[in-house]
């Protein structure tokens, strides 16, 4: 088990983890939304984010992507959830950032529960423009 900086050749494994975990956490979003997001994640976000991957037996099973103090994404392969991988990834982010902020869909009960258990607190609410879904803004000092 290793946490290491993302490398460009991790992209397919990272996107596989992202898509499979997203479909569970964001079950309320459409297939069309995921298809559009996958392209944007691949071509834009992964090229500018500060990303760390969690590797288990030579395979990427989780990752965290940050833009400054913003946790833009944290996902763990569904078959590896519940074993502390998400916490280990968040611990890595905490070590290198003075504070963390993120936005989570209100309907993402699993994500909200994880962030609250980790210590994030709600600091605001909004509506995600592309989906109309309610979002919660959270911060960890």
Pair of tokens at residue 28: 């309320």
Q: Are 72 and 21 in contact (CB under 8 A)?
A: no
Structural domain for 132, as ranges? 2-140
48 φ, ψ to 5°? -115, -15
Residue 96 has pLDDT above 90, yes or no: yes
pLDDT at 32: 87
Task: Find the largest Cα–Cα distance for the chain.
Answer: 40
Whether the model clears a pTM of 0.85, i.e. scores above it, the answer is yes
CATH number at residue 51: 3.40.630.30
Q: pLDDT tens-digit profile of 4-25? A: 999 999 999 999 999 999 999 9
Mean pLDDT of 77-82: 95
Quote the number of domains for the chain: 1
pLDDT at 22: 93
- Where are the alpha helices (H) located in 10-127, listed in sequence order? 11-25, 31-40, 46-48, 85-96, 109-118
pLDDT at 68: 95
CA distance 116 to 112: 6
Sheet holding 70-76, edge to edge: 2-5, 50-56, 59-67, 70-76, 100-105, 134-140, 121-127
Mean pLDDT of 57-80: 96
Listed residue (16, 60, 19) closest to 37, CA to CA: 19
Residue 133 has pLDDT above 90, yes or no: yes
Q: pLDDT tens-digit profile of 112-122? A: 999 999 999 99
Pair of tokens at residue 138: 């959270």
Exposure pattern of 99-119 as b/e (b: 16+ CB <10 Å)? ebbbebbebbeebbebbeeee
Q: pLDDT tens-digit profile of 26-46? A: 989 888 888 888 888 888 888
């Amino acid at each position: 088990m290793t946490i290491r900086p993302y490398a460009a050749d991790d992209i397919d494994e990272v996107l596989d983890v992202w898509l499979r975990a997203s479909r569970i956490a964001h079950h309320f979003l459409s297939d069309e939304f995921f298809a559009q997001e996958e392209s944007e994640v691949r071509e834009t976000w992964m090229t500018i984010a500060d990303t760390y991957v969690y590797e288990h037996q030579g395979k990427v099973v989780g990752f965290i992507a940050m833009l400054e103090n913003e946790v833009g994404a944290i996902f763990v392969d569904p078959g590896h959830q519940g074993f502390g991988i998400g916490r280990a990834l968040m611990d890595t982010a905490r070590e290198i950032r003075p504070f963390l902020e993120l936005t989570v869909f209100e309907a993402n009960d699993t994500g909200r529960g994880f962030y609250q258990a980790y210590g994030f607190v709600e600091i605001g609410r909004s509506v995600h423009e592309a989906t109309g879904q309610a979002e919660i803004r959270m911060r960890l000092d």
